[in-house]
Structure 1
Amino acid sequence: MFEHMTADRTANAIMQDSTFKGTNLVVEGTKDYKFYSKFFNIENTVQIKQVGGKEKVREVIELLNARNFNEKIGIIDSDFSKILSDEVNTENVFLTDFHDIEVMMFGSPALETTLNIYTTNEKIEKFLDGRKLRGIILDLAKQIGFLKLANHIYKLGLAFKPRQPQGKPLKYKDFIDNRTLDFKGNEQLITTVHNYSINRSDKVIDAKIVEEKVKELVDDKYDLLHLVNGHDLSNILFFLLKKVLRSPNMSLYDIHSIEDSLIMSYEARFWIDTELFKKIYDWGLSNNQTLFKEDIEHLYNKLRLEV
């Protein structure tokens, strides 16, 4: 509903809802709703509004701030903000610990639980042959991360997803080997994305310039958990399970299967260990608002007493 409304109309709708007396949580999209509804008390004290994008979350919260409407917070993905020292300073807007919520989940034991849903430990260990799984996946995702960062900084006009949700996605098999999960090289990655961007972007910069801009960034040392994109991590995980390990699990249908499994596997004990949770918890205390489900509040307070 709110995805198709302007920020102004969304803010008006939130303020005019006299039937709800709790806190409005404004998030980017459906995936965020699925994730945060696990932990916030949406039965009683919190309403989650998915508004369709990071900038719109900021705009809605800024409008509500200006109108002195206090019962609201927003959560957005950090994206490249910490790498570029361009962190959001909008009051009552909170950022994910890392690039996005998928990266937060990837760094937790939810990854191992998700893998166990779709394959066996024996298959994983045989594939790894002593290597570290997170390291392999991060090393692949960082290659795409550098390209996305260059696109963000230099406005290269590249497209990494279809204009419409039902459109054809980027083909990861064109730059990742579907037998070994080996990276086919930056030239192949850039060629794939550049070709994909034609007719999906208003103006695409020449591939040679794209390659030069990526090279300018590759030598810099970035925190990979802020560089890599969760969408790429999920795609690589799907590629690994479906193509390389050939999972027979019929529920492994597409990337959404991976994202949903990670959300399902991400436990409260992982959530309360994040900086995002702690900042929002403190906001609730300061504003006399109970935001989280009772079992999560109980677990957090119990663990604090044990420290």
Structure 2
Amino acid sequence: MIEYITPERIANSIMQDGTFSGHYLIVEGNKDYKFYNKFVTKEISIEEAWGCEKVKSVIHILKERNYERAIGIIDSDFSVILEEPIDCDGIFVTDFHDIEVMMLKSTALYNILDLYCSKEKIVEFFKDKDALDILMELGIEIGLLKLANKIYNLGLVFKPERPEGNQLKYKEFVSEKDLTFLGKSSMIQTVVNYSRNRTGRVGSIADINEKLNLLAPERYDPAHLVNGHDLTNILFILIKKVLKSTNKMLHDYNSVEDSLILTYDNNEFIKTDLFYKLYLWSRERGVNLFKSELTEQGKVGSCLSVAN
């Protein structure tokens, strides 16, 4: 059970492994493993810590023990919006809220729409609308609720205790007919119902509404406000229910996220600040971090950045 995998246990396992002479990359979970494993060499062993704070703890424990062959990558989450710098040496952070948002803000989004949906359905639905803009507008709504929950401790829960648990019912506040937002009240009620009996105290509807109204959307960068898992759940509704995809590979939001990982390519990754910082770190230390094709492209990008 992942809840019993402590940072100490992970750190001990790393330090006791005398058969591996490379570097360790500590990530939050399985999707992160799949994503970063596309880009790193065999000299890098990726370990899942199952959570942002656990990644930080593993790196901190290893640093305290003078173990220098490990780095971590965590999601930015709300750190930019809340002006909470990640004060931990050896930790790198995603450009946007999480890796899903990074992927959705790339050609991968349009590639999977083409993969799962007919051209006719895509043209009919989007017309003069942009897929990313639609997703972001809907993601902002629940993103603000999550931010309010974090700031004001409203006692809300947005995900199951275990990965296999029941997910939040997005269809109760995002229409399966045309992907319209069914209203703030529907969203709040859905999340309150989902949260009951799972935390010590869930705020009242009135209190949640009040706190949510205090947060103005225009104050925040949407790419740091929206949560990628919300967007992929909404994207699943779009593909499966609105655009009527019959592709047998499409089961749930996990299928969407796996498809994004598969279609997100080197050319997109080397554009990110995350890649550039990791590339500089690896070059300065002589660590063979990235596969050769990325390294060669990274050298070009590095030269261009210096020239500019």
Q: Shared fold (TM-score greater than 0.5)?
A: yes
Give, in whole Å, the separation in 2 of the partners of 1:83 and 1:248: 39
Is the CA contact (8 Å cut-off) linking 2:155 and 2:203 kept in structure 1?
yes
Q: Report the equivalent of 2:150.
A: 152
Is the CA contact (8 Å cut-off) linking 2:154 and 2:202 kept in structure 1?
yes
Alignment of 1:162-241 (within 5 A): 162-241=160-239
Alignment of 1:69-108 (within 5 A): 69-108=67-106
Aligned CA distance change for structure 1 residues 2 and 157 (closer, same or farther; 3 Å) = closer
The match for 2:268 among 264, 267, 270 is 270
Give, in whole Å, the separation in 1 of the partners of 2:242 and 2:213: 29
Q: Report the equivalent of 1:115.
A: 113
TM superposition shift of 1:303: 5.0
Q: Report the equivalent of 1:30.
A: 30
Alignment of 1:285-296 (within 5 A): 285-296=283-294
Is the CA contact (8 Å cut-off) linking 2:25 and 2:47 kept in structure 1?
yes
Amino acid at match of 2:225: L
TM superposition shift of 1:302: 4.3
Is the CA contact (8 Å cut-off) linking 2:27 and 2:48 kept in structure 1?
yes
Q: Report the equivalent of 2:123.
A: 125
Is the CA contact (8 Å cut-off) linking 1:2 and 1:50 kept in structure 2?
no
Q: What TM-score results when the alignment is normalised by the length of structure 1?
A: 0.95
- CA-to-aligned-CA distance 1:226-251 (integer Å, 9 cap, x gap): 00000001001100001111101111
Is the CA contact (8 Å cut-off) linking 1:79 and 1:98 kept in structure 2?
yes
Give, in whole Å, the separation in 1 of the partners of 2:161 and 2:35: 24
- CA-to-aligned-CA distance 1:111-140 (integer Å, 9 cap, x gap): 111111100232112111311221111000
Amino acid at match of 1:154: Y
TM superposition shift of 1:6: 1.8
Give, in whole Å, the separation in 1 of the partners of 2:187 and 2:235: 18
Q: What TM-score results when the alignment is normalised by the length of structure 2?
A: 0.95
Q: Answer yes or no: is 1:13 the counterpart of 2:37.
A: no
Amino acid at match of 2:25: L
* More divergent stretch after superposition (79-88 vs 159-168): 159-168
* More divergent stretch after superposition (60-69 vs 259-268): 60-69
TM superposition shift of 1:219: 5.0
Amino acid at match of 1:24: Y
TM superposition shift of 1:2: 7.4
Amino acid at match of 1:164: R
Aligned with 2:290: secondary structure?
A: coil
Aligned with 2:87: secondary structure?
A: coil
Give, in whole Å, the separation in 2 of the partners of 1:231 and 1:304: 32
Give, in whole Å, the separation in 2 of the partners of 1:241 and 1:6: 38
Q: Report the equivalent of 1:301.
A: 299
Aligned CA distance change for structure 1 residues 182 and 2 (closer, same or farther; 3 Å) = closer
Give, in whole Å, the separation in 2 of the partners of 1:178 and 1:2: 33
Give, in whole Å, the separation in 1 of the partners of 2:286 and 2:97: 30
Give, in whole Å, the separation in 2 of the partners of 1:35 and 1:220: 31
Give, in whole Å, the separation in 2 of the partners of 1:180 and 1:116: 19
Aligned CA distance change for structure 1 residues 199 and 3 (closer, same or farther; 3 Å) = closer
Structure 2's unaligned 5+ residue stretches are none
TM superposition shift of 1:202: 2.6
Is the CA contact (8 Å cut-off) linking 1:40 and 1:293 kept in structure 2?
yes
Give, in whole Å, the separation in 2 of the partners of 1:302 and 1:54: 32
Give, in whole Å, the separation in 1 of the partners of 2:83 and 2:251: 38
Q: Report the equivalent of 2:39.
A: 39
Amino acid at match of 2:255: S
* More divergent stretch after superposition (232-241 vs 217-226): 217-226
TM superposition shift of 1:275: 0.5
Aligned with 1:217: secondary structure?
A: coil
Aligned CA distance change for structure 1 residues 286 and 303 (closer, same or farther; 3 Å) = closer
